[in-house]
Amino acid sequence: MAAFTKRPPLHLMHPSQSNRRDFFASAAAASGFAFAQDTLGAQQNPAVQVADRATSLKITGLKTFWVNPCVFVRIETNHGVTGWGDIKGVDPRVSKPLAESLFELLDGENPTRIEHLWQKLFRSHRDIRGGPFMCHTLAGIDQALWDIAGKLWGVPVYRLLGGPVRDRIRVYHTPKAIKVPPPGVFEHSSNPADIERIVAAIKSARDKVGPDGAVMFDAHCALPPATLIQLAGAIRPYDVLFIEEVAVPGNIEVFKRLKDAIRIPLAAGERDRTIWDMIPYLHNRCLDVLQPDCCHTGGITQMRKIAALAEAYHVPLAPHCTASNLGIAASLHAIAATPLFLIHEFYPDNHGFNPALRDAAGKPQPIARVDWAVDKDGYVNLPPGPGLGVEVDEQLLAEAASRPQSYKWPGRVLKDGSIADY
């Protein structure tokens, strides 16, 4: 009977039977700490200190820095832990004040309640819910919150997402993976010369990467469906990994028509922003590859849900990513913990995406820095930590943000003066 007088295991106890001291002692042991709570005391136990900070952590500030082509977001807390994110793909004259306005919903909140805060911001206004300005702005804020959480616990963000499921991440553009863009503006109809130019570019890419490399073609929603079907037949001998952005989102019947007619895998998703946008592609089986962008979808929080949704349909992710090192890192953290994955877009040295200032010698100095290492096979190392693992040069950022910034609306005008999607 004596055995039954002992206190039951901690995990079976009602909260009233346990206490905070016992809980953190157990957490410390489970985390691999070789010392006991009773020996060190709460003030010396790292598990207790971190958990205490997480419990009392509050958002105290949000600052934005417009440096073309993106807006950097910094979220500040009462414990001095800061997080960084990247807003891109929309007019900074709108996204910058929108992010600053959304601080009203973040002020005083615990930044580790990431899912709760995502829902709070996303659902805050029914008339802009799910739209590009809200989702792109929310993405930068979400990235910053994950950055704070990783820094708080002293681990890379992918550890908080379930841990890495791979040791390295396949990327393009590299000597082993090339994506061919459409050459110039296409009219509503095309001619043999248009197709021949693309075929020649794809053949050249295949010759460069060899039989074990990857060649992709980005249609960029520029080719009419009939032209794209003709082109797909001409490039099929070159084993194209996928054709990207075959049509403008909005009419699923167009995607179904193209899927029925083309024998090359089709990819899309960069212009779609949430799980609700992705479902029609998957349900109608009209995409072979899904391409969410971590800076478009609403950040890491939504990216991981899209990944899970795609996994249920056996559709791999090949994330779109034309971002600064902050946006690249956020996306790579999400992909490090995503089981079903194909290849990742990667342009860390393109300063049209990754803002930089030139030093006295004329060499670009990126504002957001990460030690990337792409190996001979075309794979990049997992992003470092803690947090997103990105070092932001705040002095360089302040200097760049103090300079005049401008934005010009993009667009596509055809030869006859009419307007087309791009």
Query: What is the rounded CA–CA span in Å between residue 247 and residue 111?
Result: 38
Alpha-carbon Rg for the chain, nearest whole angstrom, is: 24
DSSP for residue 374: B
- Contacts of residue 418, defined as CB under 8 A and 6 or more positions apart, other chains included, come to none
Active-site pick, 79, 173, 220, 351: 220
Give the bridge partners for 216, in sequence order. Answer: 179
For 195, how many CA atoms within 13 A lie in the half-sphere containing its CB?
Answer: 16
CB count, 10 Å around CB of 166? 15
C-alpha distance from residue 342 to each of 207, 213, 333 (Å)? 21, 13, 15
Picking from 366, 363, 357, the residue whose alpha carbon sits closest to that of residue 327 is: 366
Amino acid letter, residue 415: K
> What would the two tokens of residue 75 be?
């979220």
Active-site pick, 320, 333, 344, 351: 320
Tell me, yes or no, if 320 is annotated catalytic.
Answer: yes
Q: Catalytic residue numbers?
A: 220, 320
